[in-house]
Amino acid sequence: MKFCNQCGNPVDQRIPQGDTRLRYVCGTCEVIHYQNPNIVAGCIPVWGEQVLLCRRAIEPRLGYWTLPAGFMENGETLAQAAARETDEEACARVRDLHLYTLFDLPHISQVHVFFRAQLADIDFAVGEESLEVRLFHQSEIPWAQLAFPTVGRTLECYFADRLEQHYPVRNEFLGPLLAIKPQP
């Protein structure tokens, strides 16, 4: 951040009185610009034995497969954000959303949250941010072409939990070096 979004004058970094962290502070109007983690919300849209994945048409990770997910907007709930992203990326409607995985990613100041969800129908289509959208059986998942570690980990958990028909909510920490493990 270089300029204040309140008055347009330059900002500098300092620790405000009563605070313990460096913040961007406007030298003119004194507004403190707090920066906090971003929340990414998404779904595992399920249709029978299959799950829906989207191939990304945008950076980062253009051309790689992902579960539909994206940044939460102001004024919506987590589940609404997950359903909206599914609609935007896959033109798909979901129901019965259940909180499933929650990943802390402090190295990029993000939290990723995925819901298990049922596809309401299979009238999905390629959304603006996707190149391709399709259903996959477990054996068809393109493990080596997944866009993000949190997507791979969520799919791993899902297929393991499906065997037990028990889906505990999982809160995991994913460090910067954790790669997607290939499925045996």
Nearest residue (CB) to Zn ion, 8 versus 106? 8
Nearest residue (CB) to Zn ion, 26 versus 44? 26
Cα-trace Rg, the chain: 19
- Interaction with Zn ion in 151-180: which residues (CB under 5 A)? none
Q: Which of 44, 23, 27, 38 is nearest to 159 (CA)?
A: 44
Nearest residue (CB) to Zn ion, 31 versus 135? 31
DSSP state of 10: B
| Residue 33, CA distances (Å) to 4, 44, 105 in order | 8, 35, 22
- Interaction with Zn ion in 44-83: which residues (CB under 5 A)? none
Nearest residue (CB) to Zn ion, 26 versus 53? 26
Say how many CA atoms lie within 13 Å of 105 toward its Cβ. Answer: 19
Rounded to the nearest whole angstrom, what is the least distance from the CB of residue 80 to Zn ion in the complex? 33
- Interaction with Zn ion in 1-40: which residues (CB under 5 A)? 4, 6-7, 26, 28-29, 31
Rounded to the nearest whole angstrom, what is the least distance from the CB of residue 142 to Zn ion in the complex? 48
- Interaction with Zn ion in 81-140: which residues (CB under 5 A)? none
The Cα–Cα gap between 114 and 66 comes to 12
The Cα–Cα gap between 141 and 137 comes to 7
Q: Which residues bind Zn ion (CB under 5 A)?
A: 4, 6-7, 26, 28-29, 31
